[in-house]
Amino acid sequence: MQLPKILTAVPRRFYTILSLMGLVVVALIFFSGRGDGFAFVSDWQTPFTTDDGLLGSVMGYFGDESSGDETRIAIVNSIKAHDEVLAALVHSFGGHPNARVNVFLYRQRYEMEKIMRNFTLASRTTVRGISAFKPAMMRNPHPHVVVSTTCELDLKFAKPGFQNLLDNGATHLFCVIHHADQWDKGGHVDFARKWAEKGKLDFVALSQHTADFLLKETIPKWKADYSVTARVLPPVFPVEHPADEEDGISLAMQGDYSSGRRDYEHIFTGLGGVLEKLESADSSQQNQSLQLHVIGHGTTPKVPKVAEGHVIFDASLSYPDFYAVLSKAFAVIPGFASDTYLDRKASSTVPASLIAGAPLLVNDDILKAYSYLPREAAWVAKSGEEDMDAIKRMIGNQEEFIKKRDLARKAATDIMAQNRINIQKWTAEVRRKMDSQHNEEQKQREKEAAAAAAKSEAAEKAKTEAAAAATAAAN
């Protein structure tokens, strides 16, 4: 028997429309799920992936709730700066053997990706653009830990994503600080305090002296009735050291070429004194050339005649080339622009020397501030001795140089291993704390529910008794 047209036409139209809608939904999910990560395919290779395709879109950026006991970690860098700190964080957190890491960044600069793609990571690590951070934090499951690379600015430029995590209450913030004196007031401080009030904030300093300044000088200005923790993670990560040796003797220093930040004329004049010593030394040292590599950016300062031909300005180097130049240095000169790098700021030169495996020229004040730097791995100036005077005293001691270079590289290896151990410890502590908070909150909710039920039962009982009394009175 032939069915009526209305019964055959409607289902066909229905299934056609349903099929088209399904294709549209799949396409939208596919392309939205790829996000900005797609742009990094040409730059990032194993051990990194750049997106999770349909699964990342449907299940969330960290899989689903049944993904085992993995620690879910998000690392954020919303500005085009602090590439070295981001690299150290990825290497440290990515070393967690039972974690899933999502990295959200503005962009990589100066070929840092060439260094990072050689990292050996234990965790599954995915790299995405910063614009994917907010939608990622809107989806379940949320990360157990979110790491802000430049917390002073990330809390401003990526605030919606952080706000959603704060509101959800299932994530702990590791807030990396760069200026310990800039956490007394401001919008970033107000927002960070909301995390601290919930017991979900740990500061991460890049050296012990900045952690001490934060806790002793800055946080007391909050006048808070809760405690704040500051942890320390020296920003060190592995690079390949060139096998070829530098011809002659190489010195290196990095930083802005602005004369307002460093007295280059004084440094270059001091270099002339080092040259004089080499010229008056025995024949083996006389034949060695001396070069000072000044690595940085800006308008190059004038070189006095006494140092002409011995100063090389290496401007805007890639990170691989930067560490290659440093790695060949007999000594890395810190050239701090101010004494604030000894109490409230963390210098990038100290970890850079360890990453490159080159001995840093230090004094006792620097060793005290940067306590992760072993004394035996550095050239130590005498009390009151200027940088170039110390170099002049040490120059040409090749045997001691090789010893200190090897110790600097061993120190870097030890720091990286300890960083990874610390990360596992910190994340385990945070998860236990959050589980405890969750259990307490659950008990409180159950207590409140029981109290509400008892109150409702009492009210209902009173209502019943009142009705019975009214009935009795009427009779």
* Same domain membership, residue 260 and residue 221: no
Which residue, 386, 413, 440, sits at the end of a domain? 413
Same domain, 53 and 201: yes
The dihedral through the CA atoms of 215, 219, 223, 229 has a sign that is negative
Over the stretch 171-213, which tens digit does the pLDDT of each residue have? 999 999 999 999 999 999 999 999 999 999 999 999 999 999 9
467 or 115, greater pLDDT: 115
**346/210 Cα distance (integer angstroms):** 7
Q: How confident is the model at residue 38 (pLDDT cuts 50, 70, 90)?
A: very low
Q: Identify the pLDDT of residue 67.
A: 58
Tokens in use for 35? 């996000």
Q: What is the CATH number of the domain that holds 388?
A: 3.40.50.2000
Rounded CA-CA distance 220/215 in Å is: 7
How far apart CA 297 and CA 312 sit, in angstroms, is: 13
Q: How confident is the model at residue 460 (pLDDT cuts 50, 70, 90)?
A: confident
Whether residue 286 has pLDDT greater than 70: no
- The count of structural domains within the chain is 2
Whether residue 70 is found in the same domain as residue 210: yes
Q: Is 16 exposed, middle or buried (0-12, 13-18, 19+ CB in 10 A)?
A: exposed
- Amino acid (1-letter code) at residue 419: N
Instruction: Answer yes or no: do 206 and 101 share one domain.
Output: yes
CA distances from 139 to 3, 48, 203, 226, 253 (A): 47, 22, 25, 30, 46
* pTM to 2 decimal places: 0.83
- More confident call, 331 vs 68: 331
pLDDT score for 8: 44
- CATH (domain of 121): 3.40.50
Cross-strand partners of 231 = 204
- Domain membership of residue 457 (yes or no) is no
* Predicted local distance difference test score (pLDDT) of residue 449: 78
Question: Between 107 and 164, whose confidence is greater?
Answer: 164
Residue 288 burial by CB count (10 A; 0-12/13-18/19+): exposed, middle or buried? middle
Q: In Å, what is the CA distance from 345 to each residue of 83, 261, 339, 386? A: 17, 15, 9, 22
Residue 70 located in a structural domain: yes
- For 387, the domain range is 249-413
Give the 3-state secondary structure of 423-440. HHHHHHHHHHHHHHHHHH
Q: Mark whether 79 and 217 lie in a shared domain.
A: yes
Please, which residues have CB within 8 angstroms of residue 270's CB and are 6 or more apart in sequence? 386, 387, 388, 389, 391, 392
Q: What pLDDT score does 241 carry?
A: 94
Q: Is residue 363 part of a domain?
A: yes
Q: Which residue is listed with tokens 């060139």?
A: 242
Which residues, listed in sequence order, are joined to residue 126 by a DSSP beta bridge?
49, 102
Sign of the C-alpha dihedral, residues 178, 180, 182, 184? positive
Predicted confidence at residue 418, as pLDDT, reads 99
| Same domain membership, residue 301 and residue 154 | no
Whether residues 222 and 255 share a domain: the answer is no
pLDDT per position as a tens digit, 121-150: 999 999 999 999 999 999 999 999 999 999
Q: How far is CA 312 from CA 242, 309, 355, in A?
A: 19, 8, 22
In this structure, the answer to whether residues 35 and 108 fall within a common structural domain is yes
Least confident range of 5-9, 308-312, 330-334: 5-9
Tell how far CA 207 is from the center of its chain.
Answer: 13
More confident residue, 357 or 263: 357
pLDDT higher at 446 or 266: 266
Residues 164, 85 share a domain: yes
Dump pLDDT digits (tens) for 221-265: 999 999 999 999 999 999 999 986 667 899 999 988 876 667 888
Is the same domain home to 286 and 218? no
Of 374, 393, 413, the residue at which a domain comes to its end is 413
Would you give the distance in Å from CA 216 to the centre of its chain?
Answer: 23
Q: Specify the pLDDT at position 24.
A: 55
Distance CA 428, CA 99 (A): 11
On whether both 315 and 202 belong to a single domain, the answer is no
Same domain, 293 and 395: yes
